[in-house]
Amino acid sequence: MIEPKQIIRSNRKTIALVVNTNGELIVRAPHITSTMEINSFVAEKQGWISKKMKSVATFDEKYSSITMSTGDVVPFAGEDYIVELCETQEVVFDGKVIKLPISEQSKDVLIEYLKKQALFIISDRVERYSKLMGVQATSIKITDAKHRWGSCSQNNSLNFAWRLVMCPISVIDYVVVHELSHIDYKNHSKQFWVRVRTVLPMYELEQNWLKNNRKIIEII
């Protein structure tokens, strides 16, 4: 039986299972739940746990660190593109292939391209949701952050990690709405989450995607 790496008890009302990005099983349980009950629940969910762990392993295999070799997989706006190094002077998308110049600077060329695309795509989403939510950011900045996807300053300036552009559009939308909501609520209060849900009723799906695919921020 696959056993939990860690059991975290809290005031929650139900047992929850989480497979983290390292493929480890974490159990979250109420304080009053006995170890026997937890073990029984884990035993009952072995099929789900096994499937989840395999998906994590597949993610690691699919998105190993980009070495800038032909055959590398680069995620972009929710789609996967295969790297092909060839005689080109710029980044070219050809179907599901992303063509890059044969050069020691190939990785830098790709990163600069993704940064420009991030600014274009994220700015468009910010404009769209700003109108919908009736808020206005003072500025939008694309950063090299690896520890947070986005942030909102006290003067309502929004920062977004350029690596966010490797995520699906729905996930980008969630991060955008999250930060725009901070314009009115500089916290994660109940009112803040109500605001997010008003715009994105199923935001937990994107929130969980970010938790389960956290390693995507480390591949390049």
The domains found in the chain, sorted by start residue, are 6-62 (no CATH), 111-218 (3.30.2010.10)
The alpha helices in 14-45, defined as continuous H runs, are: 35-44
Exposed/middle/buried for residue 67 (C-beta within 10 Å: 0-12, 13-18, 19+): exposed
CA distance 32 to 22: 28
Q: Which residue has the tokens 């995620």?
A: 75
Q: Is residue 13 scored above 70 in pLDDT? A: yes
Alpha-carbon gap, residue 126 to 138, rounded angstroms: 11
CA pseudo-torsion sign 96, 63, 161, 212: positive
Instruction: Using a cut of 0.75, tell me whether the model's pTM lies above it.
Output: no
pLDDT band at 56 (very low <50, low <70, confident <90, very high): low
* Average pLDDT over all residues of the chain: 89
**Cα–Cα distance between 203 and 37 in angstroms, integer?**
31
Encoded amino acid at 100, one letter: L
Q: How many Å apart are CA 92 and CA 1, to the nearest integer?
A: 48
